[in-house]
Amino acid sequence: MANARFTVKYIGRYTKRPVLAQTRIKDYDGQTVAFEYHDKAAKAHKLVTMPVEEFIARLIRHIPDKNFQQIRYYGIYANRTRKDDLAKARAILKLAEGKRLEPINWRQRRRIQRGFDPLVCGYCGSELKLIKIVYKSRDGPLEEISFE
């Protein structure tokens, strides 16, 4: 921070895609910075106030080094080989150009995964009716989907 010109150039390298949008900065009084962020764990927006020096220290951690090459896409989506690789993938999947795979429903997925129809009775072969699906959510409590 001793050389202001170097500091501005250093931070300026990251202004194209900032780590923190300017709209999230709520207050700046010369001594402290208040900014808002979304806490994914708490699923809520939080307001943080900290000294300017600490804010800049946290901000510049995310600035890549000069001439650092960032890779955005790789594999079949890599810019250099995307056209050929996607054509090969479509050929393997037997897809027409520009068409997507048709989405399959729960019953079809179970047929493919388990090798039998989950809505046909294994003993008598009669059709079963799906009434409800119960599952444990990521947060812990049981959730259910009813079809009646």
What is the per-residue pLDDT across 77-107, written as a single tens digit (0 to 9) for each? 788 888 888 888 877 777 666 666 677 888 8
pLDDT above 60: residue 73: yes
| pLDDT at residue 110, as a whole number | 85
| For range 46-56, the mean pLDDT | 93
Residue type, 83: K
SS3 at position 80: coil
Question: Residue 30: what are its φ and ψ, rounded to 5°?
Answer: 95, -25
pLDDT above 80: residue 125: yes
Quick one: pLDDT band at residue 53, thresholds 50, 70, 90?
A: very high
| For range 23-27, the mean pLDDT | 89
Type and span of the H or E element at 132: strand 132-136
What CA–CA distance (Å, rounded) separates 37 from 40? Answer: 9
The pTM score is: 0.40
Encode 17-42 in three state secondary structure: CCCCCHHHEEEECCCEEEEEEEECCC
End-to-end CA distance of the chain: 66
What CA–CA distance (Å, rounded) separates 136 from 138? Answer: 7
Asked which of 24-33, 43-52, 131-140 is least confident by mean pLDDT, the reply is: 131-140
Distance of CA 129 to the CA centre of its chain: 36
| pLDDT at residue 51, as a whole number | 95
The average confidence (pLDDT) of the chain is 81
